[in-house]
Amino acid sequence: MKTKGKVTGIISNIVIVKTEGPVAQNEIATVKLGEVRMMAEVIKVVGDDAYIQVFDSTRGLRMGAEVEFEGHMLEATLGPGILSKNYDGLQNDLADMDGLFIRRGQRTSPLNEETLWEFRPLAKPGDRVEAGDWLGEVKEQWIMHKIMVPFAFEGSYTVRSVAGAGEYNINHTVAVLEDAQGGEHPVTMVQKWPVKRPIKAYVSKPRPSRILETGVRPIDTFNPIADGGTGFIPGPFGAGKTVLQHAIAKQAEADIIIMIACGERANEVVEIFAEFPHLDDPHTGHKLMERTTIICNTSNMPVASREASVYTGMTIGEYYRAMGLKVLILADSTSRWAQALREMSNRLEELPGQDAFPMDLSAVISNFYARAGLVHLRNGATGSVTFLGTVSPAGGNLKEPVTEATQKAARCFYALSQQRADSKRYPAIDPLDSYSKYLEYPEIIEYLDERVEPGWVDLVNRGKTIVQRGKEASEQIDILGDDGVPVEYHDRFWKSELIDFVILQQDAFDAVDANTPLDRQRYMYNLVLDICDRKFGFDDFQSCVEFYKSLINLFKQLNYSEWESDKFAEYRARIDEMVAAKESNK
């Protein structure tokens, strides 16, 4: 029997309901407005008053309106057909929506119930299984989508029967499980899971032990993110957060990409919808959209949907992780999610924290980031969720609450610099303010020693030191003038510029330079470090400037040349010749 209630107060999309029975935190409710049924979520319960956030406009809602509580939390529908879909924060399929704007109360099915999937059984009668174990698989795009024991099943079950190989829709019973008491449980290809509860269908969650190669040099070379790790990209508007995320989505070595546009509703979302279906996937030769799911807020949804979208995206990511896949989740921008939390907290008249954000903001962000990670499954397979979010601090202030709270939770910090963006140094990742704590992990150090070369972390730190010394020399030159410092200061500065232009800058729109494999990054970085270690004799600062500018131009052409091509070898020979000539004249 569903609990019912009546509206007694309305504060924008926060509605107070006098309940007639028990109601749980995060329970879903239906608010009735004439023939319209609006979806809502319980966010606070005080006695027999339930505070609910409505996911539609509450315009026209009156006191006394009927509310019905559904008895379950906000859930994601999980099954074959999620990939290539464009969802809103409540997992409505936007392609099935009517008109330019979503009608109030309109809901669509997340999955097509008529599509037939070629099922292949993996389990057999008599097998003992638990939640998350694989019963069969279907081919979704080019991904082998596992049909699993529903995550809500507790304890151990015996497989009574499994459907034979053939074509079935998602609602067809593909297996029957028997519990310890002899009860039978039919299993279909689709299941539901509360988005605010982590999916724990694994046996262990160890620390990450390898990096996720993104093809972006300032990330992979200087501050790599781990496979199953967490990171965030703070930066002011126009610093290139979205372009950087798009580049990572296209090039990273992940099986599944989930884009969460949880705040931006203008150019960035339009670019995703317009570009992703046409982008070629460099890893598979297919279209990138075939292994991508996009979750975004539409322009006429209230801010409450921002919170729903990030949790829905994470739940879908955990679902594919349980299949032994590598999932990359990109959220833009989590600042909008935090602002939604602030707005709801203020309407509930809760005690505000710094800048009026909720007192528990740091805990909420930390708990969410903790859902990412590397996991070992019962069958020995390994899956991962790597989460990378952006933060848009007002005025580029990295000391504001959202940035500081996220910095405590994430292990990688990619600070975008307004100064670098203004000087067209993209990606505008500040090499000195940014960091990766994964470079402190013994497992990651060992992996880099084997995958790249021994002592790689020490080489990275050498490069950072050169950049730091170059910055200090630049400040001295700015104060005292070109002629007011020794020529060694210019040499030191231009060696840091060599690292900047060759390693830290990258053309996201060039077919070659956009994606740099790790082997090529190692080669180029060692080449640049070798030159930085050499001593050149310059008569004056002008000759120093001319030498390094010419050298940087050759290196840029090297970056635009196909790896190990004749053109690449030609520019490499010219660089060697130029360096050797300068050394002989010192």
| 206 carries a ligand binding annotation | no
Asked if 225 and 248 sit in the same domain, the reply is yes
447, 209 Cβ separation under 8 angstroms: yes
Flag the least confident range among 329-333, 492-496, 556-560: 329-333
Final residue of a structural domain among 420, 443, 466: 443
**Per the domain annotation, does 313 fall within a domain?**
yes
When divided into structural domains, the chain yields a total of 4
HSE toward the beta carbon, residue 41, CA cutoff 13 A: 17
**Per the domain annotation, does 90 fall within a domain?**
no
Q: Is the pLDDT of residue 98 over 80?
A: no
Bigger pLDDT: 436 vs 106: 436
DSSP state of 207: P
| 124 carries a ligand binding annotation | no
* pLDDT score of 73: 95
* Burial of 49: CB neighbours in 10 Å, binned 0-12, 13-18, 19+: middle
> Which tens digits make up the pLDDT trace of 345-362?
988 888 999 999 999 999
* pLDDT score of 286: 82
Q: Is the pLDDT of residue 99 over 80?
A: no
* pLDDT score of 138: 98
Q: What distances in angstroms separate CA 516 from CA 209, 463, 569, one per listed residue?
A: 22, 18, 17
Question: Directed axis angle between helix 487-499 and helix 456-480, to 10°?
Answer: 130
Token pair for 314: 């994470």
* pLDDT score of 230: 98
Asked if 401 and 461 sit in the same domain, the reply is no
**Per the domain annotation, does 230 fall within a domain?**
yes
DSSP state of 440: G
Strand partners, 392: none
Q: Rounded mean pLDDT of 286-297?
A: 88
Q: Rounded mean pLDDT of 456-477?
A: 97
* pLDDT score of 357: 93
Helix, strand or coil for residue 38?
A: strand
| 238 carries a ligand binding annotation | yes
Asked if 265 and 413 sit in the same domain, the reply is yes
Q: Rounded mean pLDDT of 424-452?
A: 96
Q: Is the pLDDT of residue 1 over 90?
A: no
The CATH number assigned to the domain holding 265 equals: 3.40.50.300
Asked if 518 and 386 sit in the same domain, the reply is no
Strand runs (DSSP E) across 179-310, as ranges? 184-187, 191-194, 230-234, 256-261, 292-296
Final residue of a structural domain among 145, 166, 189: 189
Q: Are strands 166-168 and 117-121 parallel, antiparallel or unpaired?
A: antiparallel
**Per the domain annotation, does 159 fall within a domain?**
yes
* pLDDT score of 89: 87
* pLDDT score of 91: 93
* pLDDT score of 166: 97
Q: Which residues contact 447 (CB under 8 A, 6 or more apart)?
A: 209, 210, 211
Helix, strand or coil for residue 225?
A: coil
Asked if 256 and 143 sit in the same domain, the reply is no
Q: Rounded mean pLDDT of 168-192?
A: 97
The CATH number assigned to the domain holding 525 equals: 1.10.1140.10
| 239 carries a ligand binding annotation | yes
Q: Is the pLDDT of residue 561 over 80?
A: yes
What sign for the dihedral angle of Cα 370, 371, 373, 376? positive
Q: Please tell me the distance from the alpha carbon of residue 13 to that of residue 84, in angstroms, as a whole number.
A: 31
The CATH number assigned to the domain holding 179 equals: 2.40.50.100
* pLDDT score of 105: 86
DSSP string, 484-550: GS-HHHHHHHHHHHHHIIIII---TTSTTTT---HHHHHHHHHHHHHHHTS----SSHHHHHHHHHH
Q: Is the pLDDT of residue 343 over 90?
A: no
Asked if 178 and 69 sit in the same domain, the reply is no
Q: Please tell me the distance from the alpha carbon of residue 462 to that of residue 468, in angstroms, as a whole number.
A: 10
410, 390 Cβ separation under 8 angstroms: no
HSE toward the beta carbon, residue 468, CA cutoff 13 A: 9
**Per the domain annotation, does 89 fall within a domain?**
no
**Per the domain annotation, does 108 fall within a domain?**
no
| 431 carries a ligand binding annotation | no
Q: Is the pLDDT of residue 169 over 70?
A: yes
> Which tens digits make up the pLDDT trace of 30-63?
999 999 999 999 999 999 999 999 998 899 999 9
Asked if 182 and 211 sit in the same domain, the reply is no
DSSP string, 148-192: E--TT--S-EEEEEEPPSEEE-TTS--EEEE-TTS-EEEE-S-EE
**Per the domain annotation, does 98 fall within a domain?**
no
* pLDDT score of 586: 59
Asked if 505 and 569 sit in the same domain, the reply is yes
Question: Domain span at residue 154?
Answer: 117-189
Confidence class for position 100, pLDDT limits 50, 70, 90: low
Asked if 175 and 288 sit in the same domain, the reply is no
Final residue of a structural domain among 378, 412, 443: 443
Asked if 341 and 409 sit in the same domain, the reply is yes
Asked if 280 and 375 sit in the same domain, the reply is yes
Q: Rounded mean pLDDT of 77-100?
A: 89
What is the share, in percent, of the chain residues with pLDDT greater than 90?
79
| 555 carries a ligand binding annotation | no
C-alpha dihedral, 341 to 234 to 418 to 423, nearest 10°: -140
Q: Is the pLDDT of residue 504 over 80?
A: yes
Q: Rounded mean pLDDT of 449-456?
A: 97
Question: How much is the mean pLDDT over the chain?
Answer: 93
Question: Directed axis angle between helix 487-499 and helix 518-532, to 10°?
Answer: 180
Spatial CA neighbour of 413 closest among 247, 228, 224? 224
| 166 carries a ligand binding annotation | no
* pLDDT score of 298: 66
**Per the domain annotation, does 45 fall within a domain?**
yes
Asked if 168 and 305 sit in the same domain, the reply is no
Q: Which residues contact 301 (CB under 8 A, 6 or more apart)?
A: 55, 56, 88, 89, 102
* pLDDT score of 300: 64
570, 554 Cβ separation under 8 angstroms: no
**What's the first-to-final CA gap in the chain, in angstroms?**
89
Q: Which residue do the tokens 């109601």 mark? A: 23
The CATH number assigned to the domain holding 22 equals: 2.40.10.170
* pLDDT score of 275: 75
* pLDDT score of 336: 85
Q: Rounded mean pLDDT of 543-566?
A: 96
Q: Is the pLDDT of residue 344 over 60?
A: yes
Which H helix or E strand runs over 389?
strand 382-391
Confidence class for position 135, pLDDT limits 50, 70, 90: very high
Q: Rounded mean pLDDT of 321-344?
A: 92
* pLDDT score of 95: 86
Q: Which residues contact 53 (CB under 8 A, 6 or more apart)?
A: 13, 14, 15, 40, 41, 43, 302, 304, 344
Q: Is the pLDDT of residue 413 over 80?
A: yes
Token pair for 154: 């507790």
Bigger pLDDT: 281 vs 388: 388
Q: Please tell me the distance from the alpha carbon of residue 405 to that of residue 363, in angstroms, as a whole number.
A: 8
For residue 22, how many other CB atoms are within 10 A of its CB?
Answer: 11
| 240 carries a ligand binding annotation | yes
Q: Please tell me the distance from the alpha carbon of residue 544 to that of residue 200, in angstroms, as a whole number.
A: 59
